[in-house]
Amino acid sequence: MSEGDSRRKIGAQVTAKACHVVHLSECARRYGALRTTKVVVGTVVEVNNTRKAPNNRVSTFITADFDIGGGSVKRSTLNIRSVKLFKPDQSTVPSSPAAPIPAVDNADTDLAVPEQEEGEAVLQETSPDEELEFPAQPMMEIGIAAGEQVAGPTAQVATQVWGVEDASFVMAHETKWYADEQATLIDINGSVQSKQFGINTPIGDLLGPDSDIDGKYSRLQYFLLMFQPDQLSAMCQLTNVQLAQQNKHCMSTGELLRFFGILILATKFEFSSRSQLWSTTAPSKYIPAPAFGKTGMSRQRFDDLWRNIRWSNQCPERPEGMSSHTFRWQLVDDFVERYNNHRANTFKPSHLICVDESMSRWYGQGGEWINHGLPNYVAIDRKPENGCEIQNAACGCSGIMLRLKVVKGKTAAEDDGDYNEQLLHGTKILKELVLPWWWTDRIVCADSYFSSVGTAMELQRHGLRFIGVVKTATKQYQMRYLSTLELNQRGERRGLVMRDVDTNYSTLLAFVWMDRDRRYFVSSASSLDAGKPYVRYRWRQIDQSPDADPERLEIIIPQPKAAELYYSACGMIDRHNRSRQDTLMLERKLGTTNWLTRVNLSIFGMIVVDTWLAYSLCTGIGRANGREEKQKDFYTALAEELVDNQYDNVGSRRVFVEANLDNDSPALSRTTGEPRSGLYAHLTPTKKRRKNKDGSFSSNRLQGRCLVCSKKTTYVCSVCKDEETPHSREPWVCYTTKGKLCYANHMATCHGA
Q: Of 42, 73, 92, which marks where a domain is finished? A: 92
Q: Of 74, 92, 110, which marks where a domain is finished? A: 92
Q: What is the tens place of the pLDDT at every residue in 288-342?
A: 899 999 999 999 999 999 999 999 999 989 888 888 888 999 999 999 999 999 9
Q: Residue 715: beta bridge partners?
A: 685
pLDDT classification of 141: cutoffs 50, 70, 90? very low
Structural domain includes residue 396:
no
Does the pLDDT at position 13 exceed 90? Answer: yes
Do both 312 and 210 map to the same domain? yes
Contacts of 72 (CB under 8 A, 6+ apart): 488
Do both 224 and 345 map to the same domain? yes
CB atoms within 10 A of CB 3: 5
pTM above 0.85, yes or no: no
Domain count, the chain: 3
Q: What is the tens place of the pLDDT at every residue in 591-604?
A: 999 999 999 999 99
Phi, psi dihedrals of residue 696, rounded to the nearest 5°: -80, 165
Do residues 691 and 711 make contact, with C-beta atoms less than 8 angstroms apart? no
Do residues 469 and 445 make contact, with C-beta atoms less than 8 angstroms apart? no
Do both 291 and 212 map to the same domain? yes
Do both 289 and 372 map to the same domain? yes
Per-state percent for the chain, helix, strand, coil, to nearest 5: 30, 20, 45
Phi, psi dihedrals of residue 383, rounded to the nearest 5°: -95, 140
What is the domain range of residue 715? 650-753
Mean pLDDT across 358-379: 88
Does the pLDDT at position 172 exceed 80? Answer: yes
Do both 418 and 296 map to the same domain? yes
Q: What is the tens place of the pLDDT at every residue in 388-432?
A: 999 999 999 999 999 999 999 875 555 555 554 678 999 999 999
Do both 628 and 739 map to the same domain? no
User: Is the model more confident about 153 or about 506?
Assistant: 506
Do both 362 and 214 map to the same domain? yes
**CA–CA gap between residue 509 and residue 488 (Å, rounded):** 22
**CA–CA gap between residue 670 and residue 675 (Å, rounded):** 10
Do both 80 and 42 map to the same domain? yes
Do residues 682 and 746 make contact, with C-beta atoms less than 8 angstroms apart? no
Please give the single-letter amino acid code of residue 213: I
**CA–CA gap between residue 599 and residue 705 (Å, rounded):** 43
Do both 596 and 655 map to the same domain? no
Q: How far is CA 34 from CA 84, 122, 149, 475, in A?
A: 19, 22, 32, 21
Does the pLDDT at position 267 exceed 90? Answer: yes
Do both 226 and 288 map to the same domain? yes
Mean pLDDT across 98-127: 36
Contacts of 404 (CB under 8 A, 6+ apart): 336, 339, 340, 390, 391, 392, 603, 606
| DSSP 8-state code for residue 148 | -
Q: What is the tens place of the pLDDT at every residue in 543-572?
A: 989 989 999 999 999 999 999 999 999 999
Does the pLDDT at position 151 exceed 90? Answer: no
pLDDT classification of 102: cutoffs 50, 70, 90? very low
Q: Of 92, 117, 137, which marks where a domain is finished? A: 92
Q: How far is CA 318 from CA 240, 249, 315, 372, in A?
A: 22, 29, 6, 15
Does the pLDDT at position 680 exceed 70? Answer: no
CB atoms within 10 A of CB 352: 27
**CA–CA gap between residue 529 and residue 493 (Å, rounded):** 10
pLDDT classification of 123: cutoffs 50, 70, 90? very low
pLDDT classification of 627: cutoffs 50, 70, 90? low
Phi, psi dihedrals of residue 416, rounded to the nearest 5°: -70, -20
**SS3 of 75-91:** EEEEEHHHCEECCCCHH
Alpha-carbon dihedral of residues 191, 194, 197, 203, nearest 10 degrees? Answer: -110
